[in-house]
Structure 1
Amino acid sequence: MWQQVPASSRQAVVVYGDRRDSPDSLVVLYEKQGTAWKKTGSWPAHNGRMGWTTDHQLEDERSPVGVFSLTDAGGSLKDPGSRLRYWYDDNAYAATLNPEDAHAHDFDYVIAINYNRLRGVPPFDWTRPEGVEKGGGIWLHLDHGDGTSACVTVPESGMKTLLRTLDPADHPVVVMGDRARLKA
């Protein structure tokens, strides 16, 4: 997978899933210093309830395997100091959940994963260039303690660190998948 990271990228959020069918993972932030990648942070995380896939489909509850750019962020809370363009809209994110729902704060902070989405638009824009059946709306967002529909969840401290660290000038990417496929 590292071969798919563009040469211009100097930041990589790597999501290591435990197993192909597991929702448990680890998020590790790497930053390129000279020619070497250095680990600068890590957090326990969750991915799709059913694990990982190389052919993501709408509602398969699996996270897509691959390398995807990170360009846009947002949330229902005001910008905590994001270096990525931040789209604050408490109504857009709140509309996706019932305020009484246990997941009501999942979208307080999000970073859009550029899988089947337009860049430069709010994370909650539902335009799907490859078609609705290929899914989309896949984000890094706040952890709720278990698997997701396809997103990757990170504890709040990790989300704030990522938002404050990921710099568009460094062309950040997310490299994600189960450990076996990431090592292949």
Structure 2
Amino acid sequence: MVVSAAACGVLLTTLTSCGGGSDAQKGDARSAGAGTPKDKARTADLKRIPDVGDRLQSKIPANSRQVVTVYGEGRNSADSTVVLYTRTGSTWDKTAGWKAHNGKKGWAADHHEDDKRSPVGVFGLTDAGGVLPDPGALLPYTETASIQAPHYWAKSHWHDFDYVIAIDYNRVKGTAPNDPTRPEGQSKGGSIWLHMDHGSGTSACVSLPKAAMEKLLRTLDPKQHPVVVMGDRASLQT
């Protein structure tokens, strides 16, 4: 599905939260490879998501059987590890893991527009899209050139939005990822996505290698009620 011409007009609003702007002029670091969370994630028969405390664990919906967990390295760090967990019966299995990046200034319990930090919390994953054709996504997928990263950004950022998965933070579920509606107001930020990695921190999104985005798009199933649990390690464990 391709969004209407009216939606294309929101490109700059969308990209201020997810992309580079003036920060994109900086050089990028080498893309990170696959990684794993702490040793707990390697144990068998996980009864809960590893290294996530009761506060956030309790916010994972009872019917969710797919959890993307973003383990931020530190409150002020742009480096993170993403792990996909799938629940079978009463146990969680680690399906895959990758090195990733989050907001260039780290994490915020109370995210606001342009703070360059990713929000801490548990959020739904209901909609996807990108500049590239649908790679076989199970989530509703909107193919649109309207979210193409502008070419006045650093070249390393040009493919950031080839694939995106909207994080349901201050957005309307069931709409294209670049829908500009922000139910909690503009100051709370929005347009926060999982998207392609350029090798360094983002404005608030979480970025992953292309292979990881393809894996998530082909795996996350609305029937399994997928969510993302995200934050720096200290905040996740509270």
TM interval, shorter chain, is over 0.9
- 1:99 Cα offset (Å): 6.4
1:22 matched to 2:64: no
Task: Report the equivalent of 1:38.
Answer: 93
Q: Which of the numbers 75, 98, 106 marks the counterpart of 2:151?
A: 98
TM normalised by structure 1 equals 0.97
Please give the alpha-carbon distance, in whole angstroms, between the structure 2 residues aligned to 1:62 and 1:120.
25
- Once the two structures are superposed, the pairs formed by residues 135-146 of structure 1 within 5 Å of their partners are 135-146=189-200
Q: Does 1:5 align with 2:51?
A: no
Q: Secondary structure at the match of 2:58?
A: helix
Partner of 1:128: 182
**1:3: how far off?**
1.4
- Percent sequence identity over aligned pairs: 59
Q: CA deviation at 1:9?
A: 0.3
Mapping for residues 37-116 of structure 1, pairs under 5 Å: 37-90=92-145, 92-94=146-148, 96-98=149-151, 101-102=154-155, 103-116=157-170
Partner of residue 20, structure 2: none
Query: Deviations along 1:95-126, whole A, 9 cap, x unmatched?
Result: x5226632110000000000000011100111
What is the SS of the residue equivalent to 1:4?
coil
Instruction: Read off the aligned partner of 1:123 and give its amino acid letter.
Output: P
What RMSD, in angstroms, separates the aligned Cα atoms of the two structures? 1.0
Classify the secondary structure of the residue corresponding to 1:159.
helix
Instruction: State the 4+ residue runs in structure 1 displaced beyond 4 angstroms.
Output: none
Deviation, 1:78, is 0.2
Distance 1:100 1:63, change over 3 A: closer
Aligned amino acid, residue 143 of structure 1? D
Aligned to 2:219: 165
Distance of 2:72 and 2:162 partners within structure 1: 24
The aligned counterpart of 1:181 is 235
CA distance in 1: counterparts of 2:93 and 2:150, whole angstroms:
37
* Match in the other structure for 2:171: 117
Report the Cα distance in structure 2 between the residues aligned to 1:154 and 1:166, rounded to whole angstroms. Answer: 15
Residue 42 of structure 2: aligned partner: none
In structure 1, distance between residues paired with 2:218 and 2:199: 23
Aligned to 2:23: none
The amino acid that maps onto 1:118 is V
Partner Cα distance (1:126, 1:23) in 2: 25
1:122–1:180 Cα change, 3 Å: same
More helix by share: 2
Distance in 2 (alpha carbons) for counterparts of 1:150 and 1:175: 15
1:2 positional shift: 1.5
**How far did 1:74 drift?**
0.1
Greater percentage in strand: 1
The one-letter code matched in structure 2 to 1:161 is K
Q: TM-score scaled to structure 2, two decimals?
A: 0.75
